[in-house]
Amino acid sequence: GNTTVTRVGVTTKVNGVVQHDGIYLLEGGIRLTTSQDVFIVRCLNATPSARGLVEFRANTRALTSSPTSWILNAFADLPSVDVADFTGLAVGGENDLLSTFIDSATDILFSPADLGILESACCPPGGCVAPVGTETVELLKDVCAACGDPDINVNAAKDACVDFLSIEYLNTTCLFDYCSACVKNAIESVIYTAEAVAAMDSVGPLDVAPAPVLQEAHITVMAKAQVRKGRGTPSDPEGTGFTLMSNGMSLHVSFAPSTTLARIDGKFGYQEIGWSPALGVFHNLTVILRENDIHTFIVVDGLNASLVWKADFHHSGLFLGASCLDQLSVIADKVYLNLTAQVNIPQSYLTKHEKHVLVMPLPPTLHLSAMTYISSSISVPLVPFSHCSIWGVPHVANYGRTTYNYLGSGIYSLSASVEADLEAQVFNCPLQIAKRGTLQTSVAVGAAVRVGNITVTKLGFATNVDGVVQPNGLHELSGGITVDISDEFTLVRGPLVAEGFAEIRMSARAMVSSPTAWVHSVYSQLPSTLIGSSTGLCMAGQKTAKEQFLSKDVSIFAAVDVALLEAACCPDGSCAPPAGECEYPRAEDLCEACNPQVAFKLAEATCELINDYAVRQACLFDFCATCGADAAEVAIASAE
């Protein structure tokens, strides 16, 4: 954009102004990290879709043989879909060197002062110019011999670069760098090459936005805009907001009702947000705390969710990661409808804070819905979301947290909400092993979610978006919809609105006894204010579950997916809800129906660590319904 960042030696400048070591948020969503050894420029807002991020970084290293006494190694990361739009050394080859040379003063990004310093140290009296004529390929032995020191030779170079023999190109560059330096036992060339290896290994094609690598805490409240009589002045209007207490520090964020202003106390004064949040309406306030000390304050209008304002700010030590959840609290009062907090942490982090959070494994991150540790000074409901789960053979814990079982195969509505513009469906496949009379158990083998005009389908370990298979990673779709994909898990999150957000998580696991060789569990989350008008299994019970059966002509599954599942599960067209009323079988009876018979005590041993009575009974049933063939899967699904 309009920002120019330069690095000369160990000095970093932004638009000509020297910057001290630290992290800076620049205009246009640019993040600059600078220190004596490295500087990184990352374009945070350059990715309106799931294209990836743009990043440029350079390392400064001492080099005795350099006229400036230093050398820079530069690395550029681009989404691979954008490479065709770029020019320069990064996308060219040896034959393009002349075309990348810049001699027009209007095209040079360096300031005249910096350019003068570099040219005086590096260029001969005639100036630094592009090579003329045909370039010759220098032999390594000639480069070494030019040093005039017999100890600087090809064999010495090979000894120094032995670690890179398996990568031909990098080994060659290491050898040439060693001899070019004309310094015995030159370690710099080895360090440079190692950095290049690390960069090549860690980057790869960025076809989609990478998963977050920083721990984040998302704190959201619904705040009712009001102005109390006698409070506030035109120059300092009364704000509606809340206070965060973290690591011994406090932070107050607010907006000023009946004005177009918002502020973060101690960070910046009132800022223009572009609209006036209406009085008497609950508006959405969110603070995102990050481990790297760059945080975000977001205001979403309660009447029009398309009105969004956000501002980034720097505050050291405010959030120290998920291990310090105990130190985070929120102080609010009765003007707040609800409060939620969520902490996103890397998959490798295993939390021990079960007493504070509900752990939901979701690669490539773990999502922790942190509720119970919030400050007791909040006198409003702490749980604004309602949850529903379907798992096993099959069991449902509905939005009312009542657990029930149901029979039947084919397509069923799991959760449908007109207000959330969301619909989720599952395809149940009959199990062919443990039968009891005419009763037929089944498992979910397909899941489909529609949010707005976008449909996401998971069949086994593949995820489709509008019929197109998607790679693993975080996909930011139109309308504020995000889809986070891995082999085992797919998370679909609707746009953030005043009530919160809707979320569907689909998991897949291998299952020997399933006709498709896999089984799905599905978890739904809706703002509690929306479930009253919802339908589906998540609002049903055991006696009304069969009423949620859907014919395939009204299903959101693609016809090709339905045909695939029917061929595996009910080639005779028998996928249907059970006829009439029927009693759900006992787990013991299913174990007896197995051939050979399975001892019920094995089921009890598998499920003994599950404390919840209803879930433990479901675990026993699943073990017997699969004749013990999927004991590990049964235990894992029940634990989830």
Pick from 410, 414, 461, 621: which is nearest to 638 by CA? Answer: 621
pLDDT number for residue 415: 93
Where does residue 473 fall: left (phi above 0), alpha (psi -120 to 50 degrees), or beta otherwise? left
For the chain, the domains span 1-130, 216-227+238-370, 385-581
Query: Which amino acid, 637?
Result: A
Residue of 148 and 294 predicted with greater confidence: 148
pLDDT number for residue 73: 81
24-33, 328-337, 451-460, 482-491: lowest mean pLDDT where? 328-337
- Mapping DSSP to helix (H, G, I), strand (E, B) and coil, where does residue 270 land? strand
End-to-end Cα separation, the chain, in angstroms: 47
Question: Strand locations in 78-232, DSSP E?
Answer: 216-224
Are 552 and 560 spatial neighbours (Cβ–Cβ below 8 Å)? no
Are 4 and 109 spatial neighbours (Cβ–Cβ below 8 Å)? yes
pTM of the model: 0.44
pLDDT tens-digit series, residues 9-19: 878 888 888 77
Residue 204 has pLDDT above 60, yes or no: no
> What does the CA dihedral 369, 375, 381, 383 come to, rounded to 10 degrees?
10
Q: Token pair for residue 249? A: 């520090």
Question: Strand locations in 44-109, DSSP E?
Answer: 54-62, 70-77
Q: From edge to edge, which strands make up the β-sheet containing 5-8? A: 5-8, 11-14, 17-19
State the average pLDDT for the chain: 73
Cα separation of 77 and 504, whole Å? 32
Residue of 214 and 375 predicted with greater confidence: 214
Query: Which amino acid, 205?
Result: P
Residues 6 or more apart from 582 whose CB is under 8 A from it?
Answer: 407, 439
Residue of 56 and 194 predicted with greater confidence: 56
Cα separation of 394 and 405, whole Å? 6
Cα separation of 179 and 384, whole Å? 66
Domain 216-227+238-370 is of which CATH architecture? Sandwich (2.60)
pLDDT number for residue 631: 65
Residues in the chain, how many?
640
Place of tokens 């598998």: 606
Instruction: Name beta bridge partners: 253.
Output: 242, 264
Residue 456 has pLDDT above 90, yes or no: yes
Residue 358 has pLDDT above 50, yes or no: no
- Mapping DSSP to helix (H, G, I), strand (E, B) and coil, where does residue 487 land? coil
Q: Pick from 247-251, 310-314, 359-363 the range whose average pLDDT is largest.
A: 310-314
- Mapping DSSP to helix (H, G, I), strand (E, B) and coil, where does residue 193 land? helix
pLDDT number for residue 367: 26
Instruction: Name beta bridge partners: 72.
Output: 60
pLDDT number for residue 414: 94
In this structure, are strands 11-14 and 395-397 parallel, antiparallel, or unpaired?
unpaired
pLDDT tens-digit series, residues 552-597: 889 999 999 999 999 988 888 778 777 655 566 788 888 888 878 8
pLDDT tens-digit series, residues 80-136: 767 777 888 877 666 667 778 887 878 899 988 888 888 888 887 767 877 665 455
pLDDT number for residue 75: 81
Q: Token pair for residue 571? A: 């080639």
Query: Which amino acid, 442?
Result: S
pLDDT tens-digit series, residues 231-290: 444 544 567 887 776 666 667 888 888 888 888 876 666 788 989 988 878 788 888 887
pLDDT tens-digit series, residues 375-400: 222 222 333 578 888 988 888 888 87
Cα separation of 443 and 441, whole Å? 7
pLDDT number for residue 465: 93
> In this structure, is the dihedral angle defined by the CA atoms of residues 417, 460, 387 and 384, taken in order, positive or negative?
negative
Place of tokens 């190694």: 73
pLDDT tens-digit series, residues 405-437: 887 889 999 999 888 888 999 999 988 665 555
Cα separation of 37 and 35, whole Å? 5
Cα separation of 422 and 602, whole Å? 41
Helix (H) or strand (E) holding 412: strand 410-417
Cα separation of 622 and 395, whole Å? 9
* Local confidence band at 360 (pLDDT 50, 70, 90 cut-offs): very low
pLDDT number for residue 416: 92
> In this structure, is the dihedral angle defined by the CA atoms of residues 8, 9, 14 and 19, taken in order, positive or negative?
negative
- Which residues in 410-425 are b (16+ Cβ under 10 Å) and which e? bbbbbbbbebbebbbb
Residue of 610 and 334 predicted with greater confidence: 610
Pick from 385, 518, 550, 548: which is nearest to 443 by CA? Answer: 518
